[in-house]
Amino acid sequence: MAGFAGCPGAVWADTETSTVESWNQAEGVVEARKGAGVFVRDFKPIRRRGIERLAHAQWGAGQPIWSADVAGRELVVDSVEVTEEDASAVIAGVLGLAEGARVCVRRRRYTLDGKPVLLATSYLAADLVTGTPITQPDTGPGGLYARLEELGRKPVRFREEIRSRMPSGDEAERLALPSGVPVVLIARTAFDAQGAAVEVNDMVLDSAAYVLEYGFEA
């Protein structure tokens, strides 16, 4: 063994991966490169501040919600696809729509320091957002929540459901995940003052790229 997990750039060239190396690889600490050994992933995790990022003081002031997480690092949306589709039964049920009703679907990929870290897909009722900047690739300052406020449907409450699993082949490819690294799934629903759901956002995170932080008052 020619290195250890605490040293960025340390390399293992052993033909058999040790138990410790296997654990580190599964946790995303190291990655295997075919024919080259095992390398420590040299990437500082993102501290995702689940409460602060969704505050009206953030997006209401024209700031993207993710700016609360990256502390001056360069987070880039390198892929945006906006379509109108039939709502699935699950999405229709959450948004209070008839099954098959039309929804605006926004699919994005985010990269940080040149590395893909997040896939996000938002669903909103087409009847609500058609003809607004929400249907454009760039939704403007403050993002789609600021645009919903302009439509009189300001989000005042959010719910996030979190779980983890192994990635699909497409997710692993789009996030450039090393073998064995799981993803974190976050399903967020935004609610307006009347308690109606106005957006569902399904997110897929590289588990090794994030620390999920939630601060609560006692």
d(CA 132, CA 109): 22
* pLDDT at residue 178, as a whole number: 92
* pLDDT at residue 38, as a whole number: 46
* pLDDT at residue 13, as a whole number: 44
Q: What are phi and psi of 135, to 5 degrees?
A: -90, 5
Instruction: Indicate left, alpha or beta for 72 from its phi (over 0: left) and psi (-120 to 50: alpha).
Output: left
Given a contact cutoff of 8 angstroms between Cβ atoms, the answer to whether 203 and 118 are in contact is yes
Given a contact cutoff of 8 angstroms between Cβ atoms, the answer to whether 100 and 93 are in contact is no
Strand arrangement of the beta sheet that strand 37-40 belongs to? 11-12, 37-40, 30-33
The residue among 60, 43, 170, 59 whose CA lies nearest residue 111 is 43
Beta-strand ranges (E) seen in the chain are 11-12, 30-33, 37-40, 46-49, 75-86, 102-112, 115-125, 157-165, 183-191, 197-206, 210-213
d(CA 19, CA 15): 13
* pLDDT at residue 30, as a whole number: 52
Per-residue pLDDT 10s for the chain (218 aa) are 444 344 444 443 444 444 444 444 444 455 554 554 444 556 788 888 888 888 888 888 888 777 777 777 878 999 999 999 999 999 999 999 999 999 999 999 999 988 999 999 999 999 999 999 999 999 999 999 999 999 999 999 999 999 999 999 999 999 999 999 999 999 999 999 999 999 999 999 999 999 998 888 88
* pLDDT at residue 26, as a whole number: 47
Given a contact cutoff of 8 angstroms between Cβ atoms, the answer to whether 132 and 104 are in contact is no
* pLDDT at residue 42, as a whole number: 67
* pLDDT at residue 216, as a whole number: 81
